[in-house]
């Protein structure tokens, strides 16, 4: 039987450990056992996984809704199942969504809808409001509203799988997929909360036991050069390091002759230099021609990967002109934008280009035409 997103493989976690020393950050390494699954992947691909909700949250929500959990509900894709199973495995309940607010308003006595109406008309305020609340918080806030299990099931969203960049090359770790995962935790309305998938992995999955439904999500174009003689520059702060461990393992196995340059960023050199021993060994063996690091919290002023790029502008430009591929992985909202701008600035200054020409070189030539500027950002 072929496993896919529609028919995920029930994998187990072989090994899990924290990559940061002294618990300064909860970024974990997971080794997922996919032996005998027939699943295949290449560096650059992601692993998709379907998380389950926290059973304690399920029980607390059932209590809030006044349900036993044994009631039957009809879910579009699943047919008739118990309300408890729907809440545990199929519905998103750890964060409230927009879709719920209309049915909630309809349940409120006339005259009590104004606050929610106003919120629905202001996207920023709405996002901020929903970002820190789940359905228990909403039902606490609007005690006049009550929902039958079926009404509730129809008013909330389903669970969608989470993707993780694969941190291993298949030939270096047969039967395994390695992941680098930053666990999301926060406190809101005096309750400790976690991201759905990262909380599941960190708190509810038992190594060697819990089946975790997984599938391979092939990358669209985030691949190592087909011709191994090309140089590559890899910018991967935080969990953005993941695919570059896979790239380096693959290029080492392939005997790729091109040079490899890694730029990694994290908080502290002593405690959050993820995979330090592996990268140092690659530096010593010459596999890494260059390794630059940007530890943002080792000094008063922030030092980020784009600062390291700027400091090495001459060499970055030389590598690019000689045909190097430029890869970025990690945070989409801030880091990737800043790195993008740094690249434009480097092209402008080092290539003696106008702002417009530099933008054209980065956005069109490198990215679209030559496909040498590749990103995996989230
Ligand atoms: C192609 C791709 C590759 C990826 N690769 C990786 C990877 O290698 N490693 C990795 O760790 N992640 C990776 N991600 C991100 C990953 O898919 C998940 O989005 C991430 O792990 C969070 O999932 P979650 O279910 O734990 O959190 P969710 O339950 O989805 O919650 C996350 C949300 O929590 C909110 N949140 C966080 N902190 C707070 C706070 N203090 N207060 C209020 N709200 C808060 C944020 O707004 C965020 O949107 C990747 C994503 C994509 C698309
Ligand atoms: N709480 C959350 O919502 C949460 C938790 C985990 C991960 N994530 C998301 O998951 C992704 C990866 O997170 P991660 O923990 O692996 O790493 P990260 O948060 O991206 O941090 C890695 C490094 O990047 C630095 N950084 C911050 N802003 C930057 C910028 N504008 N340009 C360059 N570097 C910058 C950080 O420094 P400083 O932190 O010192 O500024 C840190 O040294 C991101 O999208 C992140 O937002 C979110």
Please tell me if the CB atom of residue 182 comes closer than 6 angstroms to any atom of ligand 1: yes
Predicted local confidence at residue 113, as pLDDT: 85
Show pLDDT as tens, one digit a residue, over the chain (378 residues): 799 999 999 999 999 999 999 889 999 999 999 999 999 999 999 999 999 999 999 999 999 999 999 999 999 989 999 999 999 999 999 999 999 999 999 999 988 888 899 999 999 999 999 999 999 999 999 999 999 999 999 999 999 999 999 999 999 999 999 999 999 999 999 999 999 999 999 999 999 999 999 999 999 999 999 999 999 999 999 999 999 999 999 999 999 999 999 999 999 999 999 999 999 999 999 999 999 999 999 999 999 999 999 999 999 999 999 999 999 999 999 999 999 999 999 999 999 999 999 999 999 999 999 999 999 999
Predicted local confidence at residue 99, as pLDDT: 94
Predicted local confidence at residue 110, as pLDDT: 86
Predicted local confidence at residue 222, as pLDDT: 98
Pairing mode of beta strands 191-194, 212-217? unpaired
Enter the tokens of residue 351.
């290539």
Pairing mode of beta strands 373-377, 325-330? parallel
Q: Give residue 222's Cα distance to chain centre.
A: 15
Predicted local confidence at residue 253, as pLDDT: 98
What count of other Cβ atoms lies within 10 Å of the Cβ of residue 153? 21
Predicted local confidence at residue 111, as pLDDT: 84
The H-assigned helical ranges of the chain are: 55-65, 83-85, 101-107, 114-120, 123-131, 135-141, 149-155, 196-199, 242-254, 269-272, 276-285, 305-311, 313-321, 335-350, 355-360
Q: Which atom of ligand 2 is nearest to the CA of 377?
A: 45
Distance CA 122, CA 117 (A): 9
Please tell me if the CB atom of residue 19 comes closer than 6 angstroms to any atom of ligand 1: no
pLDDT (tens digit per residue) in 140-181: 999 999 999 999 999 999 999 999 999 999 999 999 999 999
Distance CA 247, CA 329 (A): 12
Q: What are the structural domains, with CATH classification, of the chain?
A: 9-50+161-217 (2.40.30.10), 55-155 (1.20.990.10), 232-377 (3.40.50.80)
Q: Are 214 and 35 in contact (CB under 8 A)?
A: no
Write down the pTM of the prediction. Answer: 0.96
Rg (CA), the chain: 24
Pocket of ligand 2 (CB under 6 A): 182, 184, 237-239, 265-267, 296-297, 302, 304-306, 330-331, 334-335, 338, 378
Please tell me if the CB atom of residue 53 comes closer than 6 angstroms to any atom of ligand 1: no
Q: Is 316 exposed, middle or buried (0-12, 13-18, 19+ CB in 10 A)?
A: buried
Enter the tokens of residue 218.
């092939």
Distance CA 79, CA 69 (A): 16
Residue 180: partners with Cβ closer than 8 Å, 6 or more residues away: 19, 27, 28, 29, 164, 165, 167, 239, 241, 242, 245, 274
Residue whose CA is closest, atom 1 of ligand 2? 184
């Amino acid at each position: 039987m072929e496993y896919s997103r529609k028919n995920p493989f029930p994998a187990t976690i072989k090994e899990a450990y924290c990559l940061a020393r002294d618990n300064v950050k909860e970024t974990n390494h997971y080794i997922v056992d996919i032996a005998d699954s027939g699943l295949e992947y290449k560096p650059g691909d992601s692993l998709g996984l379907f998380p389950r909700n926290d059973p304690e949250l399920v029980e607390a929500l059932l209590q809030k809704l006044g349900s036993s959990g044994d009631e039957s509900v009809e879910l579009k894709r699943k047919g008739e199942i118990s309300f408890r199973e729907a809440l545990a495995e199929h519905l998103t309940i750890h964060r409230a969504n927009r879709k719920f607010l209309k049915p909630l308003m309809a349940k409120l006595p006339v005259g009590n809808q104004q606050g929610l109406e106003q919120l629905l008309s202001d996207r920023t305020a709405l996002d901020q409001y929903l970002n820190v609340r789940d359905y228990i918080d909403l039902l606490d806030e609007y005690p006049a509203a009550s929902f039958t299990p079926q009404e509730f099931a129809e008013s909330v969203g389903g669970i969608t799988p989470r993707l993780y960049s694969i941190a291993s090359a298949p030939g270096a770790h047969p039967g395994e997929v390695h992941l680098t995962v930053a666990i999301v935790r926060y406190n809101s309305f005096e309750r400790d909360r976690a991201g759905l998938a990262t909380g599941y992995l960190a708190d509810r999955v038992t190594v060697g036991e819990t089946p975790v439904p997984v599938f391979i999500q092939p990358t669209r174009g985030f691949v190592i050069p087909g011709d191994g003689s090309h140089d590559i520059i890899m910018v991967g702060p935080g969990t953005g390091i993941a695919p570059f461990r896979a790239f380096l393992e693959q290029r080492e196995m392939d005997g790729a002759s091109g040079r490899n340059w890694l730029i990694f960023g994290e908080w502290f050199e002593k405690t959050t230099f993820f995979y330090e021993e592996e990268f140092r060994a690659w530096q010593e063996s010459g596999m890494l021609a260059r390794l630059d690091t940007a530890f943002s919290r080792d000094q008063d002023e922030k030092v980020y990967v784009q600062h390291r790029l700027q400091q090495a502008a001459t060499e970055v430009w030389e590598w690019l002109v000689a045909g190097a591929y430029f890869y970025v992985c990690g945070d989409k909202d801030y880091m990737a934008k800043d790195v993008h701008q740094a690249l434009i600035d480097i092209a402008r200054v080092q290539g003696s280009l106008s702002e417009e020409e530099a933008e054209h070189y980065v956005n069109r030539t490198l990215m679209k035409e030559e496909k040498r500027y590749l990103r995996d950002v989230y």
